[in-house]
């Protein structure tokens, strides 16, 4: 559908120059943005992905003179091979892509299908990755080319953090800075305490727990970690995680001692948010806990940090230290519950534009 920028009345009274470039407008764009995934699991695709990710000043705040040689001379020499093997273990071989890409695409397609009856062709949905492809800049251009002069950016991080939500928006704003005619832009706020999100998490967890042949003594609510220094500088991430954990615990009716908050994926020597997931898993097993489940509500889609780190690595920690039964409960992903939560966010943030 093509909608002219110039109103009909104006076109009748103001003659357009013969060389006036064609322009489209009148449509709304919704861009879902997730973290990213390498283009392959071999050394060079992994190196390219890790270099882009670990060069981001939002992710690594260490001074450049100290970080640059460490990154380029050590990390990017040794880490691509090791992480490539981890990615290969979860790779979507049918599509030849990481699961994060597969799931984010499906979430976008399902949202478009759901909202099309109510919003028609006026709203266009697309998706992008902060690191890797499809990149944010190209997808913003694609939305503009389809006549979207108003765009809603939806960072797929329920809990706000500078290394996730902020850097995704930074990338979009960098693209906007290069545009002569910028679209009007909104950014969906974090939805860590949104009732639709909490109810979706609870419903998903209940369904996953019902499929188990055991009842976990303890369930860990594991969020991606970050350096403690970021919290002390004012990042609200820890507080958002704690609120999600509390609201989800209340929704499920679980006592605090059975549903515990932890943080995973720490990197480097600095202190990160605690308690650490891996150390908690080991301690629980050694202290006599025989059955354990882990859920990761901070991830909108399963990825390396959930499918390999939690379901494989932490499973081994638990079983090798005396545990007997372990379960990883999947993320919301592109399930009906997951898309329900995203739909609630998108509908709310489009109000006033529709």
Binding-site residue set for Fe(2+): 224, 305
Burial-class residue 168 by CB neighbours within 10 Å (0-12, 13-18, 19+). buried
Q: 92 forms bridges with which residues in the sheet?
A: 97
Annotated binding site: 224, 305
What contacts 187, CB < 8 A, 6 or more positions away? 152, 153, 155, 169
Q: How far apart are CA 25 and CA 323, in angstroms?
A: 59
């Amino acid at each position: 559908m093509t909608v002219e920028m110039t109103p009909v009345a104006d076109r009748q009274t103001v003659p357009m120059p013969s060389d006036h470039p064609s322009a489209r407008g009148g449509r709304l764009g919704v861009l879902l943005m997730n973290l990213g995934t390498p283009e392959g699991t071999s050394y060079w695709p992994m190196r390219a992905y890790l270099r882009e990710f670990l060069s981001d000043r939002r992710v690594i705040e260490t001074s450049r003179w100290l970080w640059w040689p460490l990154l380029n001379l050590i990390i990017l020499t040794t880490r691509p091979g090791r992480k490539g093997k981890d990615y290969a273990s979860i790779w979507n071989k049918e599509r030849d892509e990481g699961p994060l890409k597969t799931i984010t695409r499906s979430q976008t397609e399902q949202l478009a299908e759901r909202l099309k009856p109510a919003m028609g062709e006026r709203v266009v949905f697309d998706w992008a990755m902060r690191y890797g492809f499809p990149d944010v800049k190209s997808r913003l251009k694609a939305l503009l080319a389809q006549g979207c002069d108003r765009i809603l950016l939806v960072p797929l991080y329920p809990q706000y953090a500078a290394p996730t939500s902020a850097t995704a928006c930074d990338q979009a704003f960098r693209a906007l800075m290069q545009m002569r005619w910028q679209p009007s832009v909104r950014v969906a706020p974090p939805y860590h305490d949104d009732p639709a999100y909490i109810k979706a998490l609870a419903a998903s967890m209940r369904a996953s727990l019902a499929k188990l042949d055991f009842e976990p003594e303890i369930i860990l609510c594991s969020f991606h970690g970050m350096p403690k220094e970021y919290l002390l500088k004012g990042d609200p991430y820890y507080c958002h995680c704690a609120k999600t954990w509390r609201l989800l615990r209340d929704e499920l009716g679980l006592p605090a001692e059975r549903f515990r908050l932890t943080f995973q994926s720490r990197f480097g020597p600095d202190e990160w948010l605690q308690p650490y997931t891996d150390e908690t898993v080991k301690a629980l097993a050694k202290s006599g806990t025989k059955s354990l489940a882990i859920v990761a509500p901070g991830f909108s889609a399963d990825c390396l940090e959930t499918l390999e780190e939690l379901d494989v690595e932490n499973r081994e920690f638990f079983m090798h230290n005396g545990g007997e039964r372990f379960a990883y409960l999947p993320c919301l992903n592109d399930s009906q519950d997951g898309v329900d939560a995203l739909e609630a966010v998108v509908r709310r943030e489009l109000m006033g534009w529709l």
